[in-house]
Structure 1
Amino acid sequence: MNPQHPPHRGTLFEEAARILSHEDAGSGQWILRVEAPECARRAQPGQFAHIQCSPRLPMRRPLSIQRVNPDAGWVEFLYKTVGDGTRALAEQPVGRSLQVLGPIGRPFTLPPERPRRLLLGGGVGIPPMIFLADRLRQQGEAGTTRAILGSEVPFPFRPRPSQVLWPGLPDGAIGTLPLLEDWGISCRLTSKAGIPGAFDGFVTDLARAWLDGLDPAERREVEIFACGPHPMLEACAELAAEFDLPCQVSLEEFMACAVGGCAGCTVPVRTGESVAMKRVCVDGPVFAAADVFPEPAP
């Protein structure tokens, strides 16, 4: 590994990954599981992989990692068909091998002084939150982790009414992701599309209601982790600033090379008193929200 590169750059591997399962989850959403043992062994929540969509397409697509199983050697992704590449990927059958480059990027960090983790995911930003929730569960932190997931299309899983009490939330916030609740993690769903069981509002609406109900000592233990569309991440950064909380955001940007060579995914990031252009693929995708979404001048 080049010592001038960030430490996480030394974990990058390319593998011929055999498709183990490929499930149509509805509304153009797909759950893809591939055999990629090196990626599975090294992946951290917040990272992604660059995936060959079809043998006939040279350009790969970046997909956030949703789950891994290092022992079984598989990596799972949730993606949505939005262009030629992902539509071609949706056509790939079980058993076919695709080149996978990963894991890529700077992952989330988990400061011990902030043990109350609030995970906010929207749309295709849900997978990193599931990966992070799984890691927290494995570390014995399920009881202090809470997740709020939002979508404007039907969720790629069947919601169910939550059996876990979550004080401070408004009436109607009862839908949950069964997988997270089975892990012992309190989870709620939101949508403005009238999805049954989902709260009629944004993820930040439920997050604000919960934060309002905490006493100051409890609130000082909270850190926010978020991934989703740009407007949602901006709202999460504003929420964190409102309650004086740290917030890490995982950015979703267009990437061509995904290894820092083309600089096509650069974004302005505050570094001290100045602003620098950072590459999301290698300097991120996880950044401090306050560095990417600085508070507007009064």
Structure 2
Amino acid sequence: MPEERGTPAGPVHVEGEVVATKRVGAYRHLTLSAPGIPERFRAGGFVAVTVAGHVARRALWIHRVRASSAFGPTLDVVVEVRGSGTAWLAAQPVGTRIAVTGPLGRPFALPKDAVSCLLVGEGYAAAPLFPLAERLRERGCAVSLVVSAPDEAHLLSALEARRSARSVTVLTADGSVGQRGGVADHVDDLVRRSDADVVYAAGPAAVLRSAAGAAERAGAWSQVAVECPTPCGTGLCHGCPLPVVGEDGVDRVVRACTEGPVVRGDRVRWDALIPPRDPA
């Protein structure tokens, strides 16, 4: 179903600059001037940024690109503070110079024909689904979008979603906005109601597994943007193992930052990727 993906050129390493920053709910949105990266961007790609005082870089999903602005082409990223590295990034003011490499990784593949697509995202990791929705609409695809989060503060761009898709479903685990529950509770019904030919998903591994499983049960294709720690982002360190089943049916481990982050949902060895829960 999907066509071959690709980027117009390889990644570049540039000195970027923070040109805008704002707090939105639980997240910090940064707009970066990074010459050469917006022009090469495809939905599902990411950037790796250097963080002061840290050896490992931080991988950030690209949420939006703007072809022109007062600063030239720019890209937007979403930061959720999870440790000292992301805390440093979130605290940087306008004017900060940051080393940026990108776009990196394999992006989403687009359908050859105008088909029905369901996009499922949770938390800040839903970021790559917004530019994907725009590309799919340009191709005449019917786009349904699901944005999910534990609570209202962790929903990403719920209002923007209504401009990006034919229909939007909002899910919160605490029921504060939209329907109560998580992706696993609703995804089979959402796949059925959208009559999806392709399901795209971005979020925690459990969300991706639920979306891929629902697609398989409905006879649809699925692509998932897997988020793994990527110390270098370029494949050199082999520090982002992703367990998959190859086209030949043989289990193997690939690099999430190069062979991924976007892969077919039915190719991921979810049991190997998601550790079992300890008994209560």
| Partner residue in 1 for 2:42 | 44
Tell me the amino acid that sits aligned with residue 190 of structure 2: W
Pairing 1:62-211 to 2, within 5 Å after superposition: 62-72=59-69, 73-113=73-113, 115-137=115-137, 139-141=138-140, 144-155=142-153, 177-183=158-164, 185-196=166-177, 198-211=178-191
The equivalent position to 1:212 in structure 2, one of 192, 201, 222, is 192
SS of structure 2 residue aligned to 1:267: strand
CA distance in structure 2 between the aligned counterparts of 1:232 and 1:182, rounded to whole angstroms: 23
**Does residue 244 of the first structure (1) align with residue 224 of the second (2)?**
no
| Counterpart Cα distance in 1 of 2:107 and 2:25 | 29
Cα distance 1:7–1:248, how it changes in 2: closer, same or farther (>3 A)? closer
Residue equivalent to 1:162: none
Q: Percent identity?
A: 26
Greater shift, 256-265 or 148-157, is seen at: 148-157
Question: 2:18 maps to what in 1?
Answer: 19
Q: 1:34 maps to which residue? A: 32
Match of 2:258, SS state, is helix
Residue among 263, 267, 272 paired with 1:287: 263
Instruction: Give secondary structure in 1 for the equivalent of 2:257.
Output: helix
Judging changes above 3 Å, is the alpha-carbon distance between structure 1 residues 236 and 183 closer, same or farther for their aligned structure 2 residues? closer
Q: What CA distance in whole angstroms lies between the structure 2 residues aligned with 1:275 and 1:9? A: 31
| Structure-1 separation of matches of 2:227 and 2:153 | 19
Tell me the distance in 2 between the aligned counterparts of 1:151 and 1:87. Answer: 21
In the alignment of these two chains, the number of paired residues is 264
How far the C-alpha of 1:245 sits from its partner, in A, is: 1.0
Could you say what secondary structure the match of 2:128 adopts? helix
Cα displacement string for residues 226-285 of structure 1 (whole angstroms, at most 9, x for unaligned residues): 011111111112111111111000100011111111111011111122012100000010
Gapped regions of structure 2 (runs ≥ 5): 272-280
Output the TM-score relative to the length of structure 1: 0.81
Distance in structure 1 (CA, Å) of the matches to 2:240 and 2:29: 25
Which AA in structure 1 matches 2:161? L
Report the more deviating stretch, 71-80 or 180-189: 180-189
1:266 to 235, 241, 260: 241
Give, in angstroms, the shift of residue 156 of structure 1: 5.4
Structure 1 segments (4+ residues) deviating >6 Å? none
The equivalent of 2:205 in structure 1 is 230
Distance 1:210 1:61 in 2: 33
RMSD, aligned α-carbons: 2.4
Q: Which runs of 5+ in 1 are unaligned?
A: 1-5, 160-176
